[in-house]
Amino acid sequence: MAPDRPGVRFFKMSGGGNDFIAVQDPSFLTPHHVETLCSRGLSLGADGMFSVEQLASGEAPTVKMTYCNADGTRARLCVNATRCAALLAFHLGWATDRVTMVTAAGEIKAARTGEFEVALELPPPRRAIEKAVEVEGDEIVGWFVDTGVPHFVLEWPENLAAAPVAELGPVLREAPVFEAGANVDFVRIVSLHRLEIRTFERGVEGETLSCGTGVLAAAAVAVQLGRADLPLLALTTGGFELSVDGSVGEDGSIAAWTLAGDARLLAEGVLSAGALAIPGPPLWSD
């Protein structure tokens, strides 16, 4: 199947290890296009796909971002993708070093803080809720918090290299206690200002090299429990560190926060017919 609009311009981007395909036409984000183009080994491959639209220029540049998971489903927010979308706005000349991003989760202010770094101002989280999930007769206790998308945060006291992300992640991700499913974060709190994290993401249905909303969720839980304080550095699977900063209220909850980290434009080009001409799953003989 050839693209219905040949010559669509695309950008390949990466934010903290999450990789994305970006386009400037939101109508191109059909479930078929997104799922096909994000297929690794068969097409471009990515953790997700987003579009950018210029809404306003001048002193208050504003850009709308629409984000889809790799399986073609729409998501309210992906902060790693939002940083990349802001960087793309700078690359396209829509803004210089500051821009307001309009997302399904609300407006987010973005600022360039380095050649390959963007910081986002985000609304403060609601308080995390302790939840227990039963898995094969064992009760697993963690913390549920929504940072634009739902997360289930598990404190992992040992080396994260041995954490059962691939085994336990998909089971917890679709536990009935989470109505719409949840990303699952395995978190080790190293010190007052440092944590490490691995995340199993819904929509990708696997571990990703980074999850910005997961870093925020882990930071929110760690601060609420009194185990950490801002500013906080989070080491992700991709080897990048994301920085969470802000202010904590008198009740110990986060009153305002920012997340800064890696955002890079890897390549840009034009989609060809082969990008969408991929086969379906194999039908093996009985």
Contact between 171 and 208 under an 8 Å Cβ cutoff? The reply is no
Query: Model pTM?
Result: 0.88
For 33, the 3-state DSSP assignment is: helix
Active site residue 78: yes
Give the CB-side neighbour count of residue 244, counting CA atoms within 13 A: 36
Contact between 83 and 15 under an 8 Å Cβ cutoff? The reply is yes
Within 10 angstroms of residue 31's Cβ, the number of other Cβ atoms is 12
Instruction: Give the residue among 151, 241, 231, 162 at the shortest CA–CA distance from 196.
Output: 241
pLDDT in tens, 65-96: 999 999 999 999 999 999 999 999 999 999 99
Position 248 scores a pLDDT of 85
Position 285 scores a pLDDT of 93
Active site residue 84: no
- Equal CATH topology for 9-116+265-275 and 129-261: yes
CATH superfamily, region 9-116+265-275: Diaminopimelate Epimerase; Chain A, domain 1 (3.10.310.10)
Beta-carbon contacts of residue 48 (< 8 Å; ≥ 6 apart): 18, 20, 21, 34, 38, 67, 68, 69, 70, 75, 78, 81, 203, 204
User: What are the structural domain ranges in the chain?
Assistant: 9-116+265-275, 129-261
CATH code reported for the domain at 129-261? 3.10.310.10
Position 177 scores a pLDDT of 84
- The one catalytic residue among 38, 68, 84, 211: 211
- The one catalytic residue among 38, 68, 78, 84: 78
